[in-house]
Chains A and B, each alone.
Chain A
Amino acid sequence: MIPAAFAYARPTTIDEALQAVASGGEDVKIMAGGQSLIPVMRLRLAAPETVVDLIKVAELRGVREEEDAIVIGAMTTHSDVLSDPLIARYAPLIAEATETVADRQVRHRGTFGGALAHADPAGDLPAVALALDAEFVIAGLAGRRTVPAAEFFVDYLTTALEEGELLVEIRVPKLHGTWGMHYEKFNRVAQAWSIVAVAALVRREGARIAEVRVGLTNMGPTPLRAAGVEAALVDVEATPEAVAAAAAHAAEGTTPSSDLNAQADYREHLAIVLTRRAVTVAAGL
């Protein structure tokens, strides 16, 4: 449980951080809260040459409001997310999912951006970001670019972040209309990762469901949108039957893994049940 030796940089600005990454050698790891990186380093599954610690980069931390979005700094901790009024107002789904992440100690150090950049398929926040159509603002030495959530998650523990780049903030568009949200997480003990989880957003228009968005956690190497479910719930009467029928499409196009918590077919079944439950709650049924 002792990491291999590594160089350590602790920049205080984004520019310094990018410089530190650029000059860190062959294998540089960027550390946000360290709640995933430090354990894999201690297990020597990762042995980076340099760790660039973002803890002192104050400009990366906090949530602000822009006209059409809220903007969450990548180094905003989970516990900051939980108490943030803008998130509570515009994207309570993020807080609801964050509350299920690990334990209080981890939530005090772990960060929103770190969890997204790590892109653990069993992590809760990627599917939430995907369901919210969040945008990822990425800084590099050459400037900034913005990547939509649908393009950010590339593969197992792999994102659109290129070498030398830094995730700086996540823009979550404000939703218009009457939206309900719910995160339905399934695990065996309170502090465990999701075996499967479902993030659901439902826009109601009176007695009808106008549109839904469903993000799936741990149903493949990346978070997924349940497109079949979403297609089946465009402008339909808000009934339990309609939701159940739509939820039956939840596992379509997924490639879940088999491990000692769940084999793939059981994960597919869970996706259907949990999607029905998540959408039902989000729809206020």
Chain B
Amino acid sequence: MTLVEEPAATQAPEKEIGKARRRKEDARLITGKTTWTDNMVLPGMLHLAVVRSPVAHGKITSVDVTAAQQAPGVIAVFTGRDFAEEQGSLPSAWAVTPDMVNPGHPSIAVDEVNHVGEAVAVIAARTKVAAQDAVELVDVDYDLLPVVLDMEEAVKDQANLCHDHVDSNTCYHFVFDAGEVGTGADTDQAFADADVVVSRRFVQQRLAPAFMEPRSVVVQPQGDNFTLWSSTQIPHILRVMLAMVTGVPEHKLRVIAPDVGGGFGGKLQVIPEEVISLLVARRLGKPVKWTETRSESLMTAHHGRDQIQFVDVAADREGNVKGLRVRLLADMGAYLRLITAGIPALGAFMYPGIYKFPAYRLEIDGVFTNKVPTDAYRGAGRPEATFAVERIMDELAVELGMDPLELRRKNWIQAAEFPFTSVAGLSYDSGDYEMATQQALELIGYDELREEQRRRRESNDPVQLGIGFSTFTEMCGLAPSRVLGSLSFGAGGWEQASIRMLPTGKVEVVTGSTPHGQGHETVWSQLVADSLGVPFDDVEVLHGDTAISSRGLDTYGSRSLVVGGSAVVKAAEKVVAKARTIAAHLLEASEDDLDFSGGTFSVRGTPGTGIGIQEIALGVWAAHNYPEGIEPSIDAEAAFDPENFSFPHGTHICAMEVDTETGLVKIRKYACVDDVGTIVNPLIVEGQVHGGLAQGISQALYEEAVYDADGNLTTGTFVDYLLPSAADLPHFDTGNTVHAAPGNPIGAKGVGEAGCIASTPAVVNAALDAVRHLGVSDILMPLTPERVWRAIHQGGDGGDRATAGTNAYGGASTETTSGVATDASSLGGDR
């Protein structure tokens, strides 16, 4: 036997961490060979259709369901009155301030409707068609009330009220003052002493999460037990909340999120229809299903963003920043849903970004309006914060006559300063902003672009070129439970995992971090393959069913790998520790003398001995020979609670062409270098960055949920709620620096939101850089060609858009709004 023929079995298998594995779940997800909630068919199942309010604000004076009840196939019709005693209020889990006003959120309106699309009745019928047909037979009368839509109007004295049983439209007033809490200097003084102050008003428009799979709920009652399937991001949280809302005891309720087709925060919710479905199933004793249409989704699923930001920055003439002051008006919509109130607060600590502001003060007013509630949407508070600081840094650079990158460099945290405590009191974990920036500049070919920009300006080319930066960081890996507690959040941020070693040596990993398309099954398999030294294909990942994965806190806030993956690694360590005891017994050696490598325990210094962990799994199952005093199992579980957030960072650079004749903007090049810590699967990281970029760019250029003066949503279909496709997006040059996160055993920081958080200001900064010499200093998002053209040729920020939907397609604004428009409305079409 020659050396080269040493048996391969003794060599450690190739490391899985770092390998660009294709996702093992994709074949079934992409081909649809899986069970989406709407695929569920149960014997005797009834179909639900929801009657929705066509008015934004009104008292319900009567609901006549007689005709609907008599329609063919209809089993029952319920109104809010029918469920008034048992529906409770949808939960608001984040009391941002002790005196926060929660008007209460019935799942079906009882006396009053507060936004277009609010549920007023539900039909249960033998077929979906019968249910839908009966919707038109329900006759609801409303006394119209004044509609509250504009936040700046809503907070004025004597404003019309969104809810007449509360005193004002202000939900809460939240203040963070670094001077007062001792993490920074006095802000007023900093501004008083500053050479330069720049103030801007930025608008974060309303967005619809626009997940691919519409929401769907199935409920099966069995005796006093209920099983609820939902296309949700949060089966575990949903179970707790539904138990609290409906009084179905938690142990009598099983919640299952089967494969879920995207969420982006839009399914981080306890939705009215989940409660309604459960109540109808309980009342009728029959299984029921509700699945939304796309228009229902755009109209009634929670929206994201919607803030007006007043941002002041103070600096000296040399460009050293001295203070940051932010005042937010944050649109709650008509009600508080799960973390509606907390979304702006989640961004509250990130406005200083990567810069060493000595002073910082933030105030938030949460404001009620007659629109669908806002809540989590990819980034949730942090994109808004990043936009504000990255935009104001450009404005400050202009004011000072400095290069925008030089100004950033002068003020950002140096690599040697990590860990760095920010003025908001956060401990930034690791990174190197200069390194990421240098790489990004090389990726995009910065010098050539600047030269081209100069040429185009000099020749007065109709197409101008601009370059925009976003040097961002964010806090994610949600979250340290104690910190959440200190912020009055209603839950913790730990995550749970268990590992089951099957007799054949295969491995089941049970995770509490329920995926909705991120690739958990692949990545958890990679983690376990490395930790246990078993083949990747021998690992199966189970999730999303509270009867299988009993503890968990699900997927949002770029937490899955950072927190959930860490729990998996911790559980694997316990498996190895338990297996070591048995291996020592079988090998008749001391545990201390065992090496564990490549899935095999061997006695140090005794080549040729060894036993594989998969063999031990069989042995301990048979349990014929194991040490006295221990349990016959090497299965293990672990919970992981991070001690700090993690702080991905990166430099994003956008090069933008602006056609000054038409206002059309077109991204010429986009490069970004992100530091998301240790990368387990580079392919998934790149995919997350691409998807995030698409959404962040889309906020800058395309998307907006538009309401007309009557509170009708005029972007009720994808004709008017504009989403880009691959054809509309540029090639992305992506790269990474790697500074491991010190706060978790993997070293990962989280990548789910980074691209979305970082890209929006880079895109807007780029467009402004292209036309700033033409006198443009701001353009409202989305940067429609019309707005860009107006800003160039008429001054200002591009102004308000007309609110009417397009006339294309017969003017297909929304399904339910036909026939109720007043003179003020902008419904399209020929109705």
Contacts and interface: CB of A to CB of B under 8 A. Distances in A.
Contacts of B803: 260
Interface in B765-820: 784-786, 789-790, 801-812, 815, 818
A121 B809 CA distance: 9
Contacts of A46: 810
Contacts of A190: 725, 727-728
Contacts of A44: 136, 815
B144 interface: no
A13 B815 CA distance: 35
B808 A120 contact: yes
B727 A263 contact: no
Nearest to B728: A189
A189 B701 CA distance: 10
A263 B826 CA distance: 13
A274 B294 CA distance: 34
A157 B810 contact: yes
A88 interface: no
Contacts of B719: 192-193
B9 to A, nearest CB: 51
Interface in A250-285: 257-263, 266, 269-270, 273-274
A44 B716 CA distance: 14
A127 B547 CA distance: 61
Q: Is the interface of B mostly helix, strand, loop or mixed?
A: loop
Nearest to A196: B662
B295 A1 contact: yes
A122 B805 CA distance: 12
Contacts of A188: 701-702, 722, 784-785
Contacts of B808: 120-123, 193
Contacts of B293: 1
A207 B274 CA distance: 71
Q: Is the interface of A mostly helix, strand, loop or mixed?
A: loop
Contacts of B129: 2, 5
A141 B812 CA distance: 33
B661 A273 contact: yes
B807 A189 contact: no
A191 to B, nearest CB: 6
Nearest to A186: B662
Interface string A178-215: 00000000101111110100000000000000000000
A58 interface: no
B232 interface: no
Nearest to B828: A259
Nearest to A120: B808
Contacts of A156: 807, 830
A157 B785 CA distance: 26
A260 B790 contact: no
Contact of B784 (A5, A123, A261): A261
Nearest to A263: B802
A195 B662 CA distance: 12
Contacts of A19: none
Nearest to B806: A259
Interface stretch (A35-43, A61-69, A130-138): A35-43
A245 interface: no
A4 B830 CA distance: 19
Contacts of A257: 804, 807
B706 interface: yes
A261 B662 CA distance: 13
B784 A4 contact: no
B686 to A, nearest CB: 23
Contact of A260 (B714, B727, B829): B714
Contact of B809 (A40, A189, A273): A40
Interface in B683-737: 701-702, 704, 706, 714-715, 717, 719-720, 722-725, 727-728
A271 to B, nearest CB: 11
Interface string A1-23: 11011000000000000000000
A192 B806 CA distance: 11
A2 B425 CA distance: 53
B133 interface: yes
A260 B806 CA distance: 7
B786 A266 contact: yes
B295 A43 contact: yes
Nearest to B701: A188
B727 A43 contact: no
A43 B815 contact: yes
Interface string A137-169: 000000000000000000011000000000000
Given A5-B133, A45-B818, A259-B805, A189 B723 contact: yes
A259 B812 contact: no
B725 A45 contact: no
A40 B810 contact: yes
B664 interface: yes
Contact of B725 (A1, A189, A195): A189
B806 A45 contact: no
Contacts of A273: 661-662
A189 B724 contact: yes
B132 interface: yes
B739 interface: no
Contacts of B810: 36, 40, 45-46, 120, 157
A181 B804 CA distance: 33
Contacts of A261: 784, 786, 806
Contacts of A189: 702, 722-725, 727-728
A24 to B, nearest CB: 20
A157 B830 contact: yes
Nearest to A4: B133
A39 B786 contact: no
Nearest to A189: B728
A5 B830 CA distance: 22
A39 B804 CA distance: 19
A260 B702 contact: no
Contacts of A4: 133
B128 interface: yes
Given A188-B701, A188-B702, A260-B805, 14 more contacts: A1-B295, A39-B812, A120-B807, A120-B809, A122-B808, A156-B807, A186-B785, A193-B719, A193-B808, A193-B809, A260-B715, A263-B786, A263-B801, A274-B662
28 contacts: A1-B294, A1-B295, A36-B810, A45-B818, A120-B807, A120-B810, A121-B807, A121-B808, A122-B806, A123-B808, A157-B810, A188-B702, A188-B722, A188-B784, A189-B722, A189-B728, A190-B725, A190-B728, A259-B802, A259-B828, A260-B715, A260-B720, A260-B784, A261-B784, A261-B786, A262-B786, A263-B801, A266-B786
Interface of B: 128-129, 132-133, 136, 293-295, 661-662, 664, 701-702, 704, 706, 714-715, 717, 719-720, 722-725, 727-728, 784-786, 789-790, 801-812, 815, 818, 828-831
